[in-house]
Chains A and B, each alone.
Chain A
Amino acid sequence: MNDDYLWDRTGEPDPEIKELEEVLGTLRYQPQPLELPAAIRPVRERRYFPSLAIAAAIVLMILAAGLWLRVHRSQTRGQYEIVNRQPPSGDKSIQPVAKASPASSPGNQFIANDPDQSSSKEEHRKRRRRAASPANSFARKVDKQRVPSEPTVAISPEQREAVAAAKEQLMLALRLVSAKLSLAQRKTQGPLPGNIRNQHKVG
C-alpha cells in the first residue's frame, strides 16, 4: 500500500485507492447556492463582559477596603478610649477617686455642686433612656459601638497628696464615730452580763 498517495496524492498511485476514489467520487458534494434569508443580518457581538467584570471587581475591592477601614478605625478608637479611661498601672490609689463620683466624698462639696457635672449626669441619664427604648435599636447599636467619651480628670501630685490626706481624715473620723457609737450603746444598754464592775481582791 502506498501511504504517500493515500496521504497527499503524491508518489505512485495505488490502484485500489484510485478505483475507490473513482467509484466514491460519484457521491461527492455538488456545489449548490446557499439561500440566505435577507431578514437575518450578521451581528457582531460586542464583548463588554470582560471590561464590565474588571470594573465590577475594582468597585467591589474599593467598597471592601472602605468598609474594612471604617471598622478598623472604630475598633482602634474604642480601644484607645478604654485605655484612656483606665488609670495608670503604677498608681492604684487614684483609681477609686478618678472613677467614683466626687459627690460621694463628704469633704468635696465643690464638685458635688458643679453644674457641669450635673448636666453630664442628666445627659447620661437621657442617653441611657434612649438606648433602653426598643424603637431605637439602631441608635443602641451605634451607642454600643461608640463608647461615650467621658471627661478624663488630670490629677497633679499636690492634688494626690490632698486626696490622700482627706482619705486619712475620713478614716480617722469614721474610727472616732465608731468608738463614740459603741460607748453610747454601752451606756444605754447597761453592763454586759459577764462584766463585773468594782471588782476588788478579797483577802
Chain B
Amino acid sequence: MCEVEATADLLLMTSQKPSLATAPEAAQLPAEALLVRAFLDGDRESFSTLYGQFAPLVHGILLARVPRLEVEDLVQDIFLHAYRKLHTLRDAAAFGPWIAMIARNRAMDFHRCSHEMVEITEEHASDDRGRRVRAEEILDVIRSLPEAYRETLVLRLVEGMTGPEIALRTGLTAASVRVNLHRGMKKLREQLGIEESAARAQSEARE
C-alpha cells in the first residue's frame, strides 16, 4: 500500500516543474539554467561545474539500484551522455530532474542487459573495514525497500543531502520528499530491528 502511494507521489511530483519549489530553492534554480546556457554557448567549463554539483545525485540514484562497484563507471557514462545530449534539454532549469531520469533509466538498462552478478567486496586493510561491511549490509536493506523510499534515503543518509536539496535536485516537491523520508526511515528501522532481533536470537541459540 505504502509502495503504491509512494510511486504515485513520485509520478505526480516528477511531472511538476521546479518553479513550484519554495523560495530558497527557487533562488538556486537560475544557476543551473545559466550553467546550461553557458555550456550550450560553448563554455565547456560550465559543464564541469554542473558535474560537480549533480554527480552526488546521480551517484545516490545509482547506488540505490545497481551494485556499488558499477556505480562509478555509470556516473561517468551518464554525464558523457548528458554532455552529448544537453542541447535536447528544453527547460535549462530542469537539468537536475533530467539527469536524474537518465540515471534511473540507465540503472534499469543495466539490470536488463547484465547477467546475474556477484558483488565482490573490496578487501581493505584499514580500520574502517568493519564499518564498510556494515554500510554494505545497511545498503542492501535500503535496496529492499520500495523505490521511492530507497532513492530518497540513499540521497539523505549516504550522499548527505538535506530534504530541500533532494527536492530541488530531483524535481520532487518538498512534501513528497518529506513523506518518503519519514516512511522510508520507519521501514528501515523496522527492517534493521528485525535483523538485529534475528541476530540476537541466533547468538542466543548458539550460546
Interface string of A19-36 (1 = CB under 8 A from B): 011111111110110111
Stretch in A5-13, A78-86, A109-117, A127-135 with 4+ CB within 8 Å of B: A5-13
Q: Enumerate chain B residues within 8 angstroms of A34, measured Cβ to Cβ.
A: 47-48, 51, 55, 76, 79-80
What's the nearest-Cβ distance from chain A to residue B131, in Å?
6
Q: B55 and A31: CB pair below 8 A?
A: yes
Q: Does A17 contact B (CB under 8 A)?
A: yes
Q: Does B185 contact A (CB under 8 A)?
A: yes
* Complex Cα–Cα for A96 and B109 (A): 88
> Out of A20, A26, A35, A44, which one reaches B132, CB within 8 Å?
A26
Q: B87 and A8: CB pair below 8 A?
A: no
Interface size class of B (residues with CB under 8 A): 35 or more
Q: B83 and A36: CB pair below 8 A?
A: yes
Q: Enumerate chain B residues within 8 angstroms of A3, measured Cβ to Cβ.
A: 178, 182
Interface string of A73-114 (1 = CB under 8 A from B): 000000000000000000000000000000000000000000
Q: Does B145 contact A (CB under 8 A)?
A: no
Interface size on A, residues (CB 8 A): 30
In the complex formed, the residue of A with least CB distance to B71 is A29
Interface string of B163-198 (1 = CB under 8 A from A): 110000000000000100110011011000000000
Q: B185 and A6: CB pair below 8 A?
A: yes
* Complex Cα–Cα for A24 and B136 (A): 8
Q: Does B63 contact A (CB under 8 A)?
A: yes
Interface string of B117-155 (1 = CB under 8 A from A): 000000000001001101110110000000000000010
> Out of A1, A8, A22, which one reaches B164, CB within 8 Å?
A8
| A interface residues (Cβ-Cβ under 8 A, vs B) | 1, 3, 6-9, 16-17, 20-29, 31-32, 34-37, 40-45
Known: A20-B157, A27-B139. 7 other contacts (CB 8 A): A1-B186, A21-B157, A24-B139, A25-B158, A26-B135, A40-B83, A41-B42
